[in-house]
Amino acid sequence: VIPLPGEPRLPAALHSRLLQDVERFSKGLPGDINAWARERYGVDLSGEYAGRKVRVPFGKASGQLSMNTAEVAADAAAGLGFVVLKTVIAEDSAGERSMAAWAVRESAMRVERRVSQSGLEGWTVTWKGRGWDRSFEEYLVLYRAALEAGAAAAMPVAASVKYDLPPAGQPFREDEYAHTTRSLAAVGGPDTIIEKDFSPTLAGDDRSREREAILRWIERVPPLVLAQAPVTLGMKLMNARFDDSFQVTMLETARATEAAFLVCFNRLFDAERGVAYGGWDLSDRNLRVLDRARIGWRPAERPRFSATGNIISGRVMAEYARRGASSGQLHTVFQLPPEAYLARAGSRSARALHSLLLDPREGLIAWMLHLGESGELHSRGGLLHFLDIAPGAGPDA
Ligand SMILES: Cc1cc2nc3c(=O)[nH]c(=O)nc-3n(C[C@H](O)[C@H](O)[C@H](O)COP(=O)(O)O)c2cc1C
């Protein structure tokens, strides 16, 4: 896939309309953002997450910003497409957790500039903590309340779990899979979406030294989870500390499982500093691997996936969509200093969404119009559809 050019090519009238709308909505986006964008720009912003239609493709990724109900309610009000709650560490019915080392909180988060190998200055969040550090019961309470807050805005809310991942040659602790999955499904019922988190700190751990151990996890986790309850399972793949071709092998292995969807790919791991990081190195690597993975796939075999990694603009979202993503999940963009957003009021989520959609140079609407102008995206029913950006998805497919 050839990268998008420096600036979107769009008629001058639409460029000035975006400039006007940036100002007009700097204190809050229209309530029904999707209907508004159809009417004003002829674009359908709907995305898809975990097999559910979402109003915009931008969702909140699992992490420190989805730890309480107030945050989820603010995201629903801001217009986000979906929310993934912080990762909880799986436990068995006796409360035992094989991944207990991940249930810790270590240090405060720091938002930092990071220059990529390609020389671009981006943002990364440095933090040494790991999973949910309160009890599983408290997580279930959060999950119930968050589902309710989401439902009021028809916004899906997913749980995220780190289940037991044994070193090579050792058995899986099935009781952790059973207890954790069934407890979540008892709360979420048919709405239960679970992302299995393979985190960057796991990539940096001894457990991930061998490629075979990683591939075994990817193959075995879906049947272990799905045997417990009929949940929608997503596999959030880590960036392993191996080369691109192993990353492609991971993706192909995951694609062949019964998981309903994939999340590609969690942050990189800096072994020297012992921290996960993002920025342009992360999106460069992810887009490169996704480009390679597509080679030779028939359209019907391409998995729809939720992208993650440096989605700090509509442009980056469009780049992932051009490689098959149906949504994106974001963390860093919600933590930027206030002057990084074009909006002057509202929650972080509302301000971020305003720029992600409306920025005349970097926003999703501008880039969808560009793809329409350049002939890469064809209109259907008089509208340009975000979900048609993926190769093999549009009206010509
Ligand atoms: C402070 C912090 C905590 C995170 N915690 C989790 C987590 O608990 N589970 C998880 O699956 N991903 C976690 N992530 C990864 C994010 O969900 C996201 O996939 C990643 O940061 C890439 O998106 P971004 O470049 O927009 O930040 C965390 C990221 C950050 C920055």
**pLDDT band at 101; cut points 50, 70, 90:** confident
Tokens 């409306």 correspond to 358
Centroid of ligand 1 to alpha carbon of 329 (angstroms): 9
Tell me, using a 6 A CB cutoff, whether residue 310 lines ligand 1.
yes
Ligand 1 atom at minimum distance from 127 CA: 1
Tell me, using a 6 A CB cutoff, whether residue 283 lines ligand 1.
no
Centroid of ligand 1 to alpha carbon of 245 (angstroms): 23
Ligand 1 atom at minimum distance from 109 CA: 1
Ligand 1 atom at minimum distance from 125 CA: 31
Average pLDDT, the chain: 93
User: What does DSSP assign to residue 346?
Assistant: S
The mean pLDDT of 21-44, rounded to a whole number, is 97
For residue 388, pLDDT over 70 is answered with yes
Q: Which residues pair with 111 in a beta bridge?
A: 125
**pLDDT band at 227; cut points 50, 70, 90:** very high
Q: List CB contacts of 129: < 8 A, sequence separation 6 or more.
A: 64, 104, 105, 106, 107
Which pLDDT belongs to residue 300?
Answer: 64
Q: Which of 58, 62, 261 to mutate to test the pocket of ligand 1 (most atoms within 8 A of CB)?
A: 62
Cite the DSSP H helix spans in the chain.
Answer: 12-24, 33-41, 69-78, 136-151, 174-188, 200-203, 211-226, 244-255, 280-294, 314-321, 348-358, 364-373
Which pLDDT belongs to residue 257?
Answer: 94
Tell me, using a 6 A CB cutoff, whether residue 332 lines ligand 1.
yes
Q: List CB contacts of 269: < 8 A, sequence separation 6 or more.
A: 200, 201, 203, 204, 239, 241, 275, 276, 277
Which pLDDT belongs to residue 294?
Answer: 78
Tell me, using a 6 A CB cutoff, whether residue 197 lines ligand 1.
yes
For residue 295, pLDDT over 70 is answered with no
Q: List CB contacts of 64: < 8 A, sequence separation 6 or more.
A: 86, 109, 127, 129, 331
Q: How many whole angstroms separate alpha carbon 121 and alpha carbon 31?
A: 34
Centroid of ligand 1 to alpha carbon of 9 (angstroms): 33
User: What does DSSP assign to residue 336?
Assistant: S
Type of residue at 355:
S
Residue 159's SS3 state is strand
Maximum distance among all alpha carbons in the chain? Answer: 64
**Percent of the chain residues topping a pLDDT of 70:** 96
**pLDDT band at 168; cut points 50, 70, 90:** confident
Ligand 1 atom at minimum distance from 332 CA: 27
Helix axes 33-41, 12-24, angle to 10 degrees: 150
Which pLDDT belongs to residue 377?
Answer: 97
Please write the tens of the pLDDT for every residue from 182-192: 999 999 999 99
Which pLDDT belongs to residue 296?
Answer: 60
Tokens of 222: 């879906």
Which pLDDT belongs to residue 107?
Answer: 64
The mean pLDDT of 110-116, rounded to a whole number, is 93
Cα 32–Cα 381–Cα 291 angle in degrees, nearest 5 = 85
Tell me, using a 6 A CB cutoff, whether residue 124 lines ligand 1.
no
Which pLDDT belongs to residue 392?
Answer: 80
Tokens of 368: 């969808």
